[in-house]
Amino acid sequence: MYNLLKPISTREELLRHKIRIFTHQEFTHLFKLSLYQAKYYLGQFVKEGLLTRLRRGLYTLKTDPPGEEEVANAIYKPSYISFEYALAYHNIIPEMTYHVTSATTRPTQLFNTDHISFSYYTIKPEAYTGYSLVQRGEKRFLMAMPEKALVDYLYMIALGERATTGGKSVNDRMELSSLNKNKILEYARLYNYSKLDKLIEEVL
């Protein structure tokens, strides 16, 4: 027999547990449903506009959406926000990006939701560090430290995954005076990539 769920009471229960992003399994457990029942209600609530399906098996409240940084962490794990988005977040580059960029040890992926694109770029497992948990109000997400965001970004340039006309042009659009040079060099050593080392020398 179905546990009758209504949109209003479902939203209230999710918010009471401070849940804004959740999996199919978490929804099943919270509302004590069978997998079949959960699939039915999730489909109905997406159609009715209560929920947004971020990707297969992952949902969020459309009425009370989480921040794009939280969504980025949740869509593809393990990952932390880095590259252009983190550089803009730390005021190292002047412009905001149109999509959220993250580092991962998994294959490179791109996900599109209703309004935002989320890009994930593969880095070496040895270099998967240099990030911290950021908390802004109720929002919590993993973000690269400024020095690590820079190194991750330059690594992509060294690999040819980002277009550039040389180290000088990269440096011209960045504000690097607040960064710790020793930390930059430490993070760069994790990649053990001579092209990256050369590019960092030019930028610094």
Pair (122, 191) in one structural domain:
yes
Pair (75, 57) in one structural domain:
no
Residue 67's pLDDT is: 92
d(CA 196, CA 189): 9
Residue 125's pLDDT is: 98
Q: Return the sign of the alpha-carbon dihedral for residues 126, 195, 100, 149.
A: positive
Average pLDDT, the chain: 91
Amino acid code (one letter) for 157:
I
Pair (81, 17) in one structural domain:
no
Pair (72, 48) in one structural domain:
no
Residue 4's pLDDT is: 85
Judge whether 2 lies within some domain.
no
Q: Is the pLDDT of residue 45 over 90?
A: yes
Pair (118, 153) in one structural domain:
yes
Pair (35, 77) in one structural domain:
no
Pair (56, 82) in one structural domain:
no
Tally the domains of the chain: 2
Judge whether 154 lies within some domain.
yes
Judge whether 19 lies within some domain.
yes
pLDDT tens readout for residues 98-152: 899 999 999 999 998 877 899 999 999 999 999 999 998 888 999 999 999 999 9
Pair (45, 86) in one structural domain:
no
Residue 20 sits in a domain of what CATH number? 1.10.10
Pair (149, 193) in one structural domain:
yes
Q: Is the pLDDT of residue 188 over 50?
A: yes
Pair (53, 79) in one structural domain:
no
Pair (38, 98) in one structural domain:
no
d(CA 129, CA 148): 8
Give all strands of the β-sheet with 139-144 in edge-to-edge order: 109-112, 117-122, 99-104, 79-81, 139-144, 131-136
Range of the domain at 54: 7-61
